[in-house]
Each structure stands twice: as structure tokens, then as C-alpha cells.
Chain A
Amino acid sequence: MATSKKSSSNKPARRLEVKKTYKLYINGAFPRSESGRVYEVTNSKNGFVANPSLASRKDLRDAVVAARAAQSGWAKATAYNRGQILYRIAEMLEGRADQFANEIVLASGVTPKKAHDEVLAAIERWVWYAGWSDKLSAAFGATNPVSGPYYNFTIPEPQGVIAVAPAESFLALIDAIAPAIISGNTVIALVPGSAAIAAMTFAEVLATSDLPAGVLNILTGSHDELAPWAASHMDIDGFDISGIDKKKRAELKVAGAENLKRIHSFDGAVSPTRIFAFMEAKTVWHPIGV
């Protein structure tokens, strides 16, 4: 990968590199955008990098259908199972850390050291969030001492289908998706610009991590184009808009009010708050008696 040449000085290579086509990741498969559109990712040193798919409204709707269909099954998986699958993602990432670091360098132009640190941080995130799966009820649930002969408890449950629009970086993507899926939500990630490169390679990690198809769907392209469609989609329950420009958040919230979507943004902190923000508390009463 790192051997890409400037487009201005093309000479026959000794061995021509076999390049990857960056497509979308929907329902466990790698389709191109139904629109047939791509956009160019370039880097100031090497010029042309790739033509990732420019996802459309229809791709988003397909991803929502996949995410909705996968949601109840993913939520029903045991917490232990969900935790192991997220941990498996960390294992897969660890084995391919160099590849991810190279892609981050290539697409975003950061130093190799910075890129490597970012990948290691992403791996730590997966390990950390993986461990939360079977502690959510302990941390966010309660048994409530009501005045009467009733057993009363509160448990957190996933909200359903969550869209995330992270900032243009690999780590921002991980920060958005890991807390959203660990509780049993399914997710559609809207990955902007150059972050598409590492994101679509990350989809290969997902495809080999026993994560059921549809649990995590990745669309690449433009927030300006996709985020308003996500905000107004009636079958999306929540939306993490941390990567959206502050000036553009209000219009998304207005659109999201139509189904009272839970719309949140976070300042980058790694926190269980990011998990609970996309969960609902359910309280159950039952009489006690003989």
C-alpha cells in the first residue's frame, strides 16, 4: 500500500501492486453504492489513494433495513457472547495493526508513529467496551424499594437502530460504534472523507469476527449528504452526531424530532455514558404474595 506513486510520475513498476476496491459494508456483504458513485481520496505526498464508494440515501435505507432485521437477534445474544465478539474484533485488529497504521498514514498524512498509536488506542477501546456487555445492568440498573408488596426493578435495554456520524478518523469511528453495539443496538456508521480507507478495511475485520450480518453497517461518503437522511429516517432510534460540525447539528435535531430520535454528541471522552446514551431504562413491577 505504502508504495503508491504520485500520479504525475507514472513509470512501470517492477511488480504492479494489486489494489483494493473500497466498497460499502451492508448486511455482512460488500456492495458498491447502488448509485454507482465514488469519490477520490488523495494525499498530499502520494496523490491518488483510492476511489471509495459515495453512499446514497438508498444505501442508507438498505443499511437501516439490515440493521433493523439484525437488531433483536443481536440484543438476544447473551452478554457473554456479545463481549466475546467485541473482544474478537480487538484480536483481529491487533493482528493487522500495521496494515491499519499504513492506511491511516496513506489516507490522512499523519506520521507513522501517530497512526500506530491511533490503532493501538482503537484496540484498547474494543477491549474496554467488550468488558461492559455483562456489567451494564449492574451499573445502570436498579432494584427499587417501592412502598408496597411489589418487586420492582429497572434494567437497561438497547434502543434499537443507531446511526453514528463520527469525525474523519479511524479512532473516532471506533469511539462511536463500540459503545453503541455492545448493549445490543445495531449500527449504521456514516464515515466521511479519507476515513473511508481504514473504515472499509475495518469492515473486513468485522466480517471475520463472528459479528452477525447487519449488526454494523458502514457507509462512506459525505456527512452533508447522508446525515440529514439519517436524522429524518423514521426507523432509526438514535443518532450520534459527534463528528458533525456544530453549526449543522441544529437542523439534524429538528429533523430527528419527528420520531423523537435520541440525538447525542460527545466530546471524545471514553465513557460508559456513551453506552447508556443509546439505551432505555425499563422498569418492571410484579406483586409479591402467596
Chain B
Amino acid sequence: MTFEYAPAPESRAIVDIKAKYGHFIDGKFVPGKKHFATINPATEEVLSQISLGGASDVDKAVAAAQKAYTKTWSKLSGKERGKYLYRIARILQERAREFAVLETLDNGKPIRETRDIDIPLVAAHFFYHAGWADKLDYAGLGKSPQPHGVAGQIIPWNFPLLMLAWKVAPALATGNTVVLKPAETTSLTALLFAEVCQQAELPDGVVNIVTGDGSTGAAIVNHPGIHKIAFTGSTEVGKKIARAIAGTNKKATLELGGKGANIVFDDAPLDETVEGIVNGIFFNQGHVCCAGSRLILQEGIADELIEKLKVRMAKIRVGDPLDKNTDLGAINSREQLSKIQELTSAGDAEGAERWSPACNLSAKGFWFAPTIFTGVTQAHRIAREEIFGPVLSILTFRTPQEAIEKANNTPFGLSAGVWSEKGSRILWATQQFRAGVVWANTFNKFDPASPFGGYKESGWGREGGKHGLAAYLKEGK
């Protein structure tokens, strides 16, 4: 029996997108000089014109952040700072649907995810950190740990507002002020967040948002008035930042790439595991640095599991991100789509076997069908390089030791997963992984109380939880 779905689009009437946006500096929107278009990646419709921030815009934003730091924000008690964060959390909850629709329009991810995951987590992140603001003495960093000053924050396009929350909430809770640059393709929710700061009556200059591209980000990284850098993005850019700040006293946290291993032992509950695999790689179109992009199956169950996975993948609904039935939305940009196409072509050329369910992909916009590759070896590019798309590379193993060796055979170390019904085996695998986040019998779960970040070339430091606070504080007495 086949169930037919009627379209169930979420209304976009709730959002009001301006024709053109400036930067948000010192509590006010200021016009930019040059602009670039931001589009809906599902339709290629131009949504708005975004300002391309230059060195002088960054200068003004840093000056505003410095002034706010010395004149107001560092003079406030933790309790008062926390109350501003609580206000922001509440306003985000009130305007959650507006943010969800706007994020889906600008990013291409399904409304089901922005509505149920991104935006609720954003509000939760501010609420969580609000409570820390007057309890920093209990963060394990000694008595009266101190903020660094002005934090320069550069965020990616895969979880635009959520990454803003991961950066801004701990920075403000710990008493730092912020200059933030959203990703080039996804600035709109950050600019709407600026309105939330105004509604919350956050003192001018505490949060400044400069939009732009990589050159704008570089201007922030290299600005002498910045004391701390927080970056989420590619390992390549992360290394550039590490080099750029080598001769300075700037602190940095870097959340970079990943090639997460997801190991399935032969005693795993296969139906649940298939759900976990799908969530691990197809959540957010696979635009997830901690995605379970390498599936490592014990040989005895590999064929059966791959068959079940194919049946499940055929039920993934790819299409209009605003449709409440949609599971897999649009690829965020033409550039990213090209990268996915390039790497999957390499998968074909190197001898792996590609499979996708039949999908009706729209001619307009950027789309990529959910895809698996079997017969993948560790030497294949699709096993080594981050694809950042809905593409799963499947490898097999015979012994647990082999599984772990394959899992850890990567310069990355962000996430890993393990599926088994046997407790001791789960804990053993958990210990062996060289990765900062391990999901056992689950995948891609996030929470403000749970530290997130990578080993090795997946980055420096943690975000979230008690551990995330350390990135924004100098140790006290």
C-alpha cells in the first residue's frame, strides 16, 4: 500500500524580508557600500541584497564592541548579563516560527528541521548560558574568571542561527562583547537576530554583525582589537586562522571538518540502526561537520543492512524545504553542489558503486539525491575527504579491532558512532574512538549542556556545557 502525500507548505507570510540589508553596528543598522545577492537555494529566487563588509566596517564594529566592553558590558554584574540572555531566549521562542521559515528560505533545509531542531536549540542555548552568567565561579576555572574582551566570531552556513547561538550565548554570558560574521549565503537570520537584540534592549555594541565573505572574515581575524577568535568552518580555513594569529596573543576555538565513522556490529538492532544511519548522514542534507559519513559494517550483516537501508532511503522525501513533509531539502549553494558532484564522480572513477533511490529533482535550485557508495576502500577520496552532502561511504570489517582502526584512520576527529546491543562492546568502542563526540545507538544529537568539538584536525576547544565556557574566560585565582 502506498501513502500519497498532499503538499503541506508552511506559509512564508510570517517573514518580512527587506530588499537590502546593512550591517548591525553599535545597536543600529548601518548601510553598507557594496552588496551581493542572497538566494533561496531551493528556487534560486533572490531574497535580498546583503552588504559586503570591508575593513572599515570591521573597524567600526570592533570599535563599538571595545567601547561596549569597557563602558557597559564588563561593568554589569553576571546576574544582569544573564537577564539579558534570558530575554533574548524568550524573544527567540516567541518569534520561533518566523526564524524557522526565514532559515529554511535562506538555507534550503527542511522546515521540519528548522522548526523542531535548529530554532528550539537556539533558544535553549541562550537560556542555558543565561544561567551561567552569575555562576562562573563554579565553572572549574578558579575564582572570578575574566572575559577576554572582544570576540570575533565567524560562522558557517549549515546551521546559521544555531551556530550564531553557539558563539554569541557563551561569549555574552562570560562578559565578552562580539563582532560576528555570518556565512556569505546565509546572513538573513543573523540580521533578524539583530532585531531581537534591539527588542531585548541589549546595550549598544555588545553584539555587532558584519556581513560579507571570506575577506570580511579575514579582516576580523587580523584586526588588532579582537582578543578571541571563534570559528566554525572548514579545516583549511581553520589552519589559515591558526597561522594568522600565531604571532599574536589572540585565543582561538576552531570547530572544523569531520569524516565521522559509524560502526555497526553484528548484534545491533538493524531497524533502529537504519534510522540512526539515515539521521547520521541525511540530516540537514549531510551539511553537518559531525555527520556519520563513513558507515563501517560488520561483514555478516552488511548485505542485509544495506538492503534495509535502500528500502528506507526510497522513502526519504526530497523537495520543497517549506513543505512540512520534506525530509531532505536543497543543497545550500551551487558551489557546494559542485563540490558534492566532484567528489561523488571521484567515487565512481575510483571504483566504488553508487546507488540512489529514484528522485524527482527540481530543475531549478540545487539538489542532490540521497546517495550511498558500497565497495569503498580506505584509499578512496570519498572515504577520506569531507563531502558535506547527502552521500554515505560504506566500508566493512571483520574484527572489532579492524573497525576501530578504520574509524580512527583519518586526520579528523570530530564524531563517531557505534551500534550494538552489548554494553561492554559499546563502552569499549567509545573508549577507542579518537573523536570528541561519540553517539552510541543514536546519532546527531545536540544539546547546550553537552560539550561539542573535535580531536586532531577537527579543531581546538569545545562549545557547549561547562567545557565550552573555558574558551571565553581567562582562568581566575
Chain A residues packing against B (C-beta within 8 Å): 139-140, 142, 144-148, 150, 152, 154, 159, 237, 249-251, 253-254, 256-260, 262, 271, 273, 280-287
Contact = CB atoms under 8 A, between A and B. Distances in A.
Contacts of A249: 246-247
Q: Report the contact-size class of chain B (Cβ under 8 Å from the partner).
A: 35 or more
Contact of B441 (A139, A280, A286): A286
Given A148-B447, A283-B465, A285-B437, 18 more contacts: A144-B465, A152-B449, A152-B450, A249-B247, A251-B246, A259-B411, A259-B456, A259-B457, A260-B254, A260-B256, A273-B475, A280-B413, A281-B467, A282-B436, A284-B430, A286-B440, A286-B442, A287-B442
Contacts of A257: 239, 242-243, 246
A146 B447 CA distance: 6
A140 B239 contact: no
B37 interface: no
Contact of B439 (A145, A147, A259, A285): A285
Contacts of B433: 282
B450 A144 contact: yes
Contacts of B148: none
Nearest to B248: A250
A247 to B, nearest CB: 9
Given A259-B411, A260-B254, A282-B438, A147 B456 contact: no
A273 B473 CA distance: 13
B467 A146 contact: no
Contacts of A284: 430, 438-440
Nearest to B124: A147
A159 B413 CA distance: 11
Contacts of B239: 257-258, 260
A46 to B, nearest CB: 41
B453 interface: yes
A237 B456 contact: yes
Interface in B410-424: 411, 413
A129 to B, nearest CB: 18
A253 B449 CA distance: 31
B450 A146 contact: yes
Interface string B402-413: 000000000101
B460 A142 contact: no
A234 B437 CA distance: 23
A281 B451 contact: yes
A150 B442 contact: yes
B455 interface: yes
Contacts of A254: 243, 246
Nearest to A72: B432
Contacts of A146: 445, 447, 449-450
A283 B467 CA distance: 10
Contact of A280 (B445, B455, B465, B466): B455
Contacts of A142: 451, 465-467
